[in-house]
Amino acid sequence: MLIRFRPAALAGALVLAACGSPAAQARQQSQPMPPKPAASVSPVDFGGQKVLIMPLQSSSGLNVGREQVTAEVIFALGEWDSRTPWITPDQLRAAMRRAPGYAPDPASLPRDPMLHHGERYVVEPLAGLLRRYTALMDARLVLLLREARWIPNADATSGVVRLDAAVIDSRAGNLVWWGEAEGQPSPLPDQQAVATAAAALAARMVTRAEN
């Protein structure tokens, strides 16, 4: 099967903000703020191919569960690109119930840095599991939601949800897309904050398409 993707152009952009009162600056020095996410590879046109979505693998600082974060990302992707057949974790699990013992539940996948010898790809055991899941669902591409975390402001009065994700060609193990996205500033790490991060991830990852 021929895979067609738009050329991916990397743009490195790292921005740190330093402002506020001396007390706020002192807090920043004692608890350094994570850098803003670097610009990721360009959005991808999946060309109507199936994409299997893995459930969110880890989260920190949120007051919603990982399944809810996954649901928000699925909704945002469907809104942004309705042409791509997005295969949900629930659909995958339903197929796995019809094939007991085929593969473990996808909620706790092996960790992989996805960067080996300077190249972006996945290795065993993750690579083998992704091939099994996609074979079961007759797909090739996998969206792995790696992490969702709450990033508070220096004064801790608000913050943003940051999502980290990657799209993998399960047959070759290569990364098609990878990157991070942040939602809108929010006073709480709640569902609305997660929804804005999911929308930002969809816009950064996929070229907009409607049926």
- Give residue-wise pLDDT tens across range 64-110: 999 999 999 999 999 999 999 999 999 999 999 999 999 999 999 99
**Phi, psi angles (nearest 5°) of residue 32:** -55, 135
Query: How is residue 169 written in tokens?
Result: 């060609």
3-state DSSP: the chain helix, strand, coil percent, rounded to 5? 30, 25, 50
Fold exhibited by the domain 22-205: Rossmann fold (3.40.50)
Q: Residue ranges of the domains in the chain?
A: 22-205
Q: What is the pTM of this model?
A: 0.81
- Give residue-wise pLDDT tens across range 41-69: 789 999 889 999 999 999 999 999 999 99
Query: How is residue 15 written in tokens?
Result: 């921005």
